[in-house]
């Protein structure tokens, strides 16, 4: 299920998603936008949304003129409903969270019913639970009529102005002709295709804005254009009282005004198509010569202005299919070219001066949700959470869809991330833990999110078939397919080629892994996406006795902390390859890891509380090191042959990563160390802080 949310802040959408996934056991991927225009652009760009959830109070208004507000909202929803069509031609249900002043049977609901919006929520029904129900099962037309309490004869299914053409459509048509370039043979065919979608009155409007070189060709070779323009008279886009500027910074009316300044005062007869390449001269009815450069200047002015608009027009408008059940039938684009102009219901976009995008919008929010049914049925408007400007900008810019991983995890599932500086043994720890867990019958997955992708070389065993699986395994996860390298019955590895350019949705990947595995071990480095750390239940920091590798690790941890992904309760430490070093104990190492020190010693940042973090020690063993290197050479990792004390240390670590009781995962409470440091150790720690 893929949902587009247009509500006042992300907390609302997160709460809806958590509730839905909890009640219906179905994954939702979603995106947030915060303006009506952003909704329209998003559904024009992406036709894969299954539902659209919109708050009527999405944008603030400067006055209480409810008639003007209702007109603005209806115009926006009308345009959105025109574009709310999935790639298979089916309507995308629009779930509207109405304002608190709405009442059943009122005229606004009658108009919404007429454009096919059947899933408005009114009064006390504006709750998370009701939104989830409509996401799961939208209303039928019959159910909506009963809910809205309206009669069929009250409904007007016709657009308010059938003869108008929206600016978006005109811009797309201009973009289409611009892409045709000088291919004059396609001018007529494209115009005939456009003509099949519009009325004659609308074609007159469209024709007025066509480039002069296109008009010249159509006047000679297009019977349809000739018949339309024979008695055209003056036609213009629907008059607008709103300000001329839009978010794109340029409007069609502005283009026309600019062209009017350059219009010639004498009639020009164009007997044949204009060849703009040659500097020819033509005659008017008085046999006076007019330089073709005058006309060319007009063309250049118009096309230069149009090119500014085309920069914001998608280069490949999605070819659309007939709309079902909303107002009058939609027009069909027959032209298979990806540049074919988009079309909607035919009414121009209404322009209302918007607040700057940086302004906070606090129309309705939501308190942090708990699991009680009382909270889940709370009426949506009137809460406090509002995103700050930076969060809003990030949400609007992001193309990734969020999946609430935490709500999908059951009590026997866990995502664990491992991170350490190079050569500290991160992959060594993960590979050995995976062998132990899979040998115990635990459904385990290794997700290799490192730049070097060591797992690719180890687990493909130099076999072409396994290399093919590895190449696609991570991208398949992003698409909902768990198809990794099957090491044994209980261990699957997901990796890729080191040079492979991956374009994946990390949240979708993790959601797919959670659906297919009990324990996910994520091999991370300093290039790993932040979602891997924010979604993990625990983050293990792996550090060897080499103190020079502490600085790059703490620098990365500081970055995670800045982004809110480094939480004390998630952190654990593994001291790997521990050996006796005079003046350097494991606790001293932990003290050094607890702080980031600027190399210039200008500031220091505490990363975690060194006294409360839990840790495990893995001793250095030359025998183990030799055995592991041999396993890498033979592409077969195994703990067989490891000394007993080393295997015990690994199992102790495994019990911390995935504690078991009767072979079932048992979550444990956060560990808090009760062991204090001695005075000598504290002195050493202070020295570490000053030196690193």
Query: What are the start-end ranges of the E strands in 149-288?
Result: 281-283
**Partners of 575 in the beta sheet?**
543, 617
Q: How far apart are CA 136 and CA 277, in angstroms?
A: 60
Q: How far apart are CA 398 and CA 14, in angstroms?
A: 16
Q: How far apart are CA 27 and CA 408, in angstroms?
A: 8
Q: How far apart are CA 349 and CA 678, in angstroms?
A: 72
82 HSE (CA, 13 A, CB side): 26
State the chain's maximal CA–CA distance in angstroms. 108
Angle ∠(172,174,176) on CA atoms, nearest 5: 70
What distances in angstroms separate CA 655 from CA 412, 516, 538, 652, 661, one per listed residue? 14, 22, 13, 5, 10
Query: What are the start-end ranges of the E strands in 195-313?
Result: 281-283, 289-291
Closest alpha carbon to 217 in 165, 276, 159:
276
Helix axes 292-310, 252-262, angle to 10 degrees: 160
pTM for this prediction? 0.44
Helix (H, G, I), strand (E, B) or coil at 314: coil
Token representation of residue 90: 């089916």
Q: How far apart are CA 64 and CA 83, in angstroms?
A: 29
Contact indicator for 240, 246 with CB cutoff of 8 Å: no
Query: What are the start-end ranges of the E strands in 156-280?
Result: none
Q: How far apart are CA 184 and CA 32, in angstroms?
A: 43
Q: Work out the number of other CB atoms within 10 angstroms of the CB of residue 522.
A: 27
Q: How far apart are CA 187 and CA 182, in angstroms?
A: 9
Closest alpha carbon to 618 in 533, 674, 545:
545
Q: How far apart are CA 193 and CA 222, in angstroms?
A: 12
Closest alpha carbon to 8 in 363, 356, 359, 382:
363
Residue 644 C-alpha from the chain's centroid: 49
Query: Do the domains 412-691 and 2-160+358-397 match in fold?
Result: yes
Q: How far apart are CA 249 and CA 646, in angstroms?
A: 67
The domain spans of the chain are: 2-160+358-397, 167-310, 412-691
Q: Residue 355: what pLDDT?
A: 41
Q: Residue 571: what pLDDT?
A: 95
CATH number of 2-160+358-397: 3.40.50.2300
Torsion angle, alpha carbons of 558, 563, 569, 571, to 10: -40
Write the pLDDT tens digit of every residue in 237-266. 443 334 433 334 444 444 445 444 444 444
Q: Residue 664: what pLDDT?
A: 65
Helix axes 223-230, 200-208, angle to 10 degrees: 90
Token representation of residue 417: 């991330």
The H or E element that residue 552 is part of is helix 550-562
13 phi-psi bin (left φ>0, alpha ψ -120 to 50, beta other) = alpha
**In this structure, what are the phi and psi dihedrals at residue 624, rounded to the nearest 5 degrees?**
-65, -45
What distances in angstroms separate CA 685 from CA 189, 578, 677, one per listed residue? 79, 18, 10
The CATH H-level superfamily of 412-691 is: P-loop containing nucleotide triphosphate hydrolases (3.40.50.300)
First to last CA, the chain: 49
362, with CB counted inside 10 A (0-12, 13-18, 19+), is: middle
191 HSE (CA, 13 A, CB side): 28
Contacts of 140 (CB under 8 A, 6+ apart): 118
Instruction: Find where tokens 């055209």 sit.
Output: 232
Residue ranges for the chain with pLDDT beneath 70: 62-63, 152-164, 166, 168, 231-404, 600-602, 661-692
Token representation of residue 546: 């080499």
């Amino acid at each position: 299920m893929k949902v587009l949310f247009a509500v006042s802040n992300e907390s609302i959408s997160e709460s809806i998603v958590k509730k839905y996934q909890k009640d219906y056991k179905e994954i939702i991927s979603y995106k947030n936008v915060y303006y009506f225009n952003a909704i329209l652009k998003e559904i024009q760009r992406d036709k894969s949304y299954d539902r659209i959830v919109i708050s009527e109070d999405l944008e603030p208004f400067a006055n209480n003129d409810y008639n003007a507000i209702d007109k603005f909202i209806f115009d926006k929803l009308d345009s959105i409903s025109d574009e709310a069509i999935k790639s298979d031609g089916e309507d995308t249900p629009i779930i509207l969270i109405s304002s608190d002043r709405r009442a059943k049977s009122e005229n606004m609901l009658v108009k919404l019913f007429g454009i096919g919006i059947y899933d408005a929520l009114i009064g006390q029904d504006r709750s998370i639970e009701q939104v989830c129900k409509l996401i799961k099962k939208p209303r039928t037309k019959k159910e909506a009529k009963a809910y809205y309490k309206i009669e069929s004869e009250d409904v007007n299914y016709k657009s308010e102005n059938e003869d108008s053409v929206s600016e978006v459509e005109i811009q797309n048509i201009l973009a289409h002709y611009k892409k045709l370039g000088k291919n004059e043979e396609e001018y007529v065919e494209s115009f005939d295709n456009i003509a099949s979608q519009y009325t004659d009155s609308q074609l007159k409007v469209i024709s007025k804005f066509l480039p002069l070189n296109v008009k010249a060709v159509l006047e000679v070779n297009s019977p349809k254009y000739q018949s339309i323009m024979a008695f055209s008279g003056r036609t213009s886009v629907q008059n607008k009282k709103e300000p001329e500027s839009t978010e794109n910074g340029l409007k069609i009316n502005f283009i026309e005004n600019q062209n009017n300044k350059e219009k010639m005062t004498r009639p020009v007869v164009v007997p044949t198509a204009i060849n703009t390449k040659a500097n020819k001269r033509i005659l008017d009815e008085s046999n006076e010569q007019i330089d073709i450069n005058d006309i060319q200047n007009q063309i250049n002015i118009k096309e230069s202005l149009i090119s500014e608009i085309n920069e914001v027009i998608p280069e490949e408008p999605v070819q659309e299919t007939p709309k079902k059940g909303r107002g009058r039938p939609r027009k069909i684009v027959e032209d298979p070219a990806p540049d074919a102009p988009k079309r909607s219901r035919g009414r121009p976009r209404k322009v209302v001066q918007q607040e700057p995008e940086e302004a906070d919008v606090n129309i309705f929010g939501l308190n942090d949700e708990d699991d009680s049914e009382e909270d889940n049925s709370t009426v949506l408007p009137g809460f406090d959470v509002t995103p700050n400007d930076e969060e809003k900008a990030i949400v609007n810019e992001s193309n990734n869809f969020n999946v609430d991983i935490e709500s999908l995890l059951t009590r026997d599932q866990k995502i664990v991330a491992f991170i350490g500086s190079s050569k500290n043994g991160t992959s060594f720890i993960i590979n050995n833990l995976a062998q132990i867990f899979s040998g115990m019958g635990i459904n385990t997955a290794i997700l290799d999110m490192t730049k070097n992708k060591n797992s690719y070389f180890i687990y493909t065993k130099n076999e072409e078939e396994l290399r093919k699986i590895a190449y696609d395994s991570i991208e398949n996860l992003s698409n909902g397919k768990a198809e990794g390298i099957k090491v044994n019955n209980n261990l699957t590895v997901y990796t890729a080629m080191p040079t492979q350019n991956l374009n994946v949705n990390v949240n979708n990947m993790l959601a797919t892994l959670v659906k297919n595995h009990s324990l996910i071990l994520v091999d991370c480095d300093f290039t790993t996406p932040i979602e891997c750390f924010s979604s993990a239940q625990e983050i293990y920091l792996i550090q060897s006795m080499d103190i020079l590798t502490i600085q790059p690790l703490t620098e990365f941890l500081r970055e995670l902390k800045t982004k809110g992904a480094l939480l004390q309760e998630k952190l654990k430490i593994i001291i790997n390859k521990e050996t006796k070093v005079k003046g350097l104990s494991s606790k001293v190492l932990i003290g050094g890891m607890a702080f980031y020190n600027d190399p210039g010693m200008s500031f220091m940042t505490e990363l975690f509380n060194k006294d409360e973090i839990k840790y495990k020690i893995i001793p250095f063993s030359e025998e183990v090191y030799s055995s592991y290197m041999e396993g890498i050479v033979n592409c077969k990792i195994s703990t067989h042959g490891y000394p007993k004390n080393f295997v015990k240390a690994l199992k102790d670590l495994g019990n911390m990563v995935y504690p078991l009781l009767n072979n079932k995962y048992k979550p444990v409470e956060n560990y808090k160390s009760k062991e204090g440091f001695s005075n000598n150790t504290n002195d050493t720690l202070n020295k570490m802080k000053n030196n690193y």
